[in-house]
Amino acid sequence: MFNIEEELKKLPNKPGVYVMRNKDDEIIYVGKAISLKNRVRQYFRKTNKTERIKKMVSLIDHFEYIVVDNEAEALILECNLIKKNRPKFNVLLKDDKTYPYIKIDVKSDFPGVFMTRRVVNDGSKYFGPYANPGSSKEMIDFIKSKYKIRQCKILKERTRPCLNYYIGKCMAPCVGTEPQLKEEYKKQINEIIDLLEGKTDKILKELKLQMEKASTNQDYEKAAELRDRILAIERVSEKQKVSNISENSIDVIGIAKSDFQVCVEIFFVRGSKMIGREHYFYQDLKDMEDKEILSGFIKQYYLDNPNIPSKIMIREEIEDKEAIEHWLSTSLGKKVEIKTPKKGEKLRFVEMAENNAKVTLENKEKDKSEILLELKEVLKMDKLPRKIETYDISNISGTNMVARNVCYARWGYKEKLV
C-alpha cells in the first residue's frame, strides 16, 4: 500500500518530474522541479492553497517521479508527459483546431508555395499560423499573381509548358532546368521568403534599384512590371503594419479572466507587422496566478511548434523563465528571450493583447447569455438555465449497454461515461 508520508521522506533533492495519480491510477497532474524533495512536499503542507490545488491534493492517491540531470531536461519531459496524458489539473491547450501555414519546400530545385495545415520536419520553411484561413489564401494568391513560380503541387518533367507559362504566371521549370533559370527562380523564392518574414523594406529597396536599371536600359515593360510589384508589396505592407516595434519576430501574449473562465490571446508580429492572432479558453483556472497560466501556456504552445519567435512578450515574470528560454533557444537554434516590458511601445503592445483577450472573453460570454435567454423564452422557463444535462444510451440487441452524460453549465463543460 502506498503511504504518502513515507514516500515523501524518500524524495531525492534532485531535479526531475513528478506525476500525481488518483485512486483509479489516472494521471491528474504533472509538474517539474529543481528539487523534487522540496517541491512535492509543498503540496502536502498545511499552508494557504488555492481551491484548485486543494481539490487536486484531495484526489491524490499516490505519486511517482523521474529524476533527470538538469532543469532543462525536466522541462522537456514535463511538456511531453502533459501532451501525452492531458492531466485534468494542468493548463491544457484544448483547442484541437489546426490552423493554416504557408509552406515553401526550399529543398527542391524549384520550390512551390502552398497552404498546409500539417507541419512536419521535412526541411521546408513554414510561415504562420494564420488564424484566419482567408488571410493565408489571400497571401498565396498575391504571391502567385506577382511572382512567376510554379502553380502545380508536384513538379513533373514535360515536353511543353502549361498555360500558366504562356500567360506569364510561371517560368516553366517543368521543361527546363538551366543554371540561369534556377538562379532566377531562386531569386524570386528568396524575395517571397523575405516578404513572409516581414522584411518588406529590403525587398522594396532592391526592386526600386532594378526598376531604375530597367528604365535606364529602356526596358519599359520590365520596369512597369517591377513598378506594379512594388505598389502591391507596399499595399500588403501597409495593411499589416501595427506597431513601431523593430524586432523581426515577436509573439505577444495577454490574459483576461472572468468568474467562469480565462482567455489567453496571442499576437504574431513579424517585422513590425501583425500576421495573425489566436485565442484559447480555459475553465477552472480563475484562482490560478497569471504567471502560472502563462508558464503552462508557453510550454504547451511551443512544444512541436516550428514557428518559435526570437522574443515572447508577457505582462508578468514567470518562475521558470530561464529554463524555458534555454529550451526554446535550443529548439530554434538561436537565442529566444521572454520579456516583461515596463514602458513604451512594447508595454502598449502587451496591453493591446490583454485588451483583446478581455473583449474576446466578454463577447463569448455575451453570446452564451443570449443563447440562454433565447432558450429560456422557447422553453417558457422562469429563470435562466444554469445547467443542462444530456444522456445518450447505446446497446447491442439489449446487451453491452453504455451511456454517456454531457453536462453544459454556465461555468464550463464536462463529459463522462455513466
Give the domain ranges of the chain.
Answer: 4-85, 101-240, 249-365, 387-417
Q: Alpha-carbon distance 78 to 97, whole Å? A: 23
209: left (phi over 0), alpha (psi -120 to 50) or beta: alpha
Which residue, among 177, 141, 145, has the nearest Cα to 158 in the 3D structure? 177
Q: Which three cell numbers stand for residue 190?
A: 528568396
Q: What is the pLDDT of residue 243?
A: 46
43 in Cβ contact with 50 (< 8 Å): no
pTM higher than 0.75 for the full model? no
One of 3.30.43.10, 3.40.50.720, 3.40.50.11720, 3.30.420.10 is the CATH number of 249-365, namely: 3.30.420.10
Q: Which three cell numbers stand for residue 336?
A: 529566444
Q: What is the pLDDT of residue 86?
A: 87
Q: Alpha-carbon distance 99 to 154, whole Å? A: 23
323: left (phi over 0), alpha (psi -120 to 50) or beta: alpha
Tens-of-pLDDT digits for all 418 residues of the chain? 788 888 898 899 999 999 999 999 999 999 999 999 999 998 988 776 788 888 899 999 999 999 988 888 888 889 888 888 889 888 877 554 566 788 898 888 889 888 888 777 788 888 776 656 666 777 888 888 878 888 888 888 888 888 888 888 888 888 876 778 888 899 889 888 887 777 777 788 888 888 988 888 888 888 888 888 788 777 666 544 444 444 568 899 999 988 778 899 998 887 666 667 788 888 777 778 889 899 999 998 888 777 788 999 999 999 889 999 999 998 888 899 999 999 888 888 899 889 888 888 887 766 666 677 777 777 888 877 777 888 888 888 778 888 888 877 655 545 454 4
What is the residue whose three cell numbers read 481551491? 51
Amino acid at 38: N
β-pairing verdict for 311-313 and 249-257: parallel
Q: What is the pLDDT of residue 50?
A: 80
**Fold of the domain built from segment(s) 4-85:** GIY-YIG endonuclease (3.40.1440)
Q: What is the pLDDT of residue 217?
A: 87
